Amino acid sequence: MFINIRRDLHQIPELGFQEWKTQRYILDYLARLPQERLQMKTWRTGIFVRVLGMAPKKTIGYRADMDGLPIDEQTDVPFRSTHEGRMHACGHDMHMAIALGVLTHVVHHPIRDDMLFIFQPAEEGPGGALPMLESDEMKQWMPDMVIALHIAPEYPVGTIATKEGLLFANTSELFIDLIGKGGHAAFPHETKDMVVAASALIMQLQTIVSRNVNPLDSAVITIGKLTSGTVQNVIAERARLEGTIRTLSPEAMEKVKGRIEAIVRGIEVAYDCEAHIDYGSMYYQVYNDEALTNEFMQFVEQKTDVHLVRCQEAMTGEDFGYMLARIPGFMFWLGVQSPFGLHHAKLNPNEEAIGVAIELLTRYIAWKGNHKVEEEE
């Protein structure tokens, strides 16, 4: 059933804060469930679903992201995207199907505590977690802990991976616009060539990690797109660099941005041009609560057949970090065994992982929301 739900959702990927069809699909599904213990609120294109417990003492939160990516799908599956130029290439269709599976189980098999399911838009950008966290709707239903997962193509089905502390990096988009003076290629002395300026800037940006970041820390600066010029015999008046910054500490992020701004100021002087920096969407690090994560890992090892990998931190970015900065909780990787990685146009996760995740989470939540409460009393 939940594999079919994943396939339905896979066909209608939508970009951040445009997930209206996705929201409608989820609401229609929820309307078919018993309503006695369900409470729902919408927030923009997102949804809050509260499942009332039998004798609640706390609220367990579970978050699933909803948006797709601006990618042309290149799989040959019969349920491929019907939205041209859009694809669920990061597994958010899997995330939603798993969340609905867990929610359905909790509705039919009540636990003691309340649960709050958070269907969050715009994870890929411009970032839905922080404004959703600050919404009146979530403030009224703020959970005491929160959980999320992310598919991992590099791990086999039946495996999860996580660790206490830092799991995902601090990330920031990076957009730099350079404005000079265009002109005929035969008269370069009368122009301010932004292809040359952009080329110099890219090379200088690569020195930040090697010469300004502590070697015992980690950072990445990637310029993934450079746009400049119109035709081969006209000197470019403008150039635009688009990239990403990733660091393992907030301090390193501040340091990297400071150096970017200093280098860009130098480019303005050296190439007699105007420059503008935009950091776009910025995501806080995913930092797993040590006690809750260790408890979860022990549960997986002792009470399930799922294989647990104690992984290293990754330079991946996730706006779930904003929730973990305010609410104790954790995120883990879910193995889906695919030769193609996240954001790849041919990514086709193994759907057997959906059942693995639903069974693991329902067992953990039942333990956490029932027996664990009794143990603490």
Evaluate whether 157 touches 335 at the Cβ level (below 8 Å). yes
With CA atoms as reference, report the closest residue to 260 among 311, 304, 223.
Answer: 223
User: Which phi and psi (to 5°) does residue 352 adopt?
Assistant: -60, -20
Inter-residue contact 21 to 12 (CB < 8 Å) = yes
State yes or no: 311 annotated in a binding site. Answer: no
| 150 assigned ligand-binding residue | yes
C-alpha distances out from residue 181 to 191, 195, 233, 283, Å: 5, 11, 14, 35
Catalytic residue, chosen from 14, 65, 289, 318, is 65
- The answer to the question of whether 242 is labelled as a binding residue is no
- Interatomic CA distance for residues 146 and 127, integer angstroms: 18
Q: How far apart are CA 94 and CA 151, in angstroms?
A: 8
Neighbouring residues of 166: CB distance < 8 A, sequence distance ≥ 6: 248, 285, 286, 287, 288, 313
Helices (H), the chain: 2-10, 20-31, 92-108, 129-133, 136-140, 194-212, 250-270, 290-303, 320-326, 352-366, 372-376
**CA dist., res. 312 & res. 232, Å (int):** 46
Is 83 among the annotated ligand-binding positions? no
Q: How far apart are CA 222 and CA 230, in angstroms?
A: 24
Query: 124 catalytic, yes or no?
Result: yes
What CA–CA distance (Å, rounded) separates 282 from 136?
A: 22
Active site residue 72: no
Amino acid at 193: D
Nearest to 3 by CA among 353, 285, 351, 331: 351
| 92 assigned ligand-binding residue | yes
Instruction: Provide the token pair at 320.
Output: 């779930």
The catalytic position among 124, 173, 177, 289 is 124
* Sequential DSSP letters for 241-271: EEEEEEESSHHHHHHHHHHHHHHHHHHHHHT
Please enumerate, by residue number, every residue annotated as part of a binding site. 90, 92, 124, 150, 343
Please enumerate, by residue number, every residue annotated as part of a binding site for Mn(2+). 90, 92, 124, 150, 343
- List residues with catalytic annotation: 65, 124
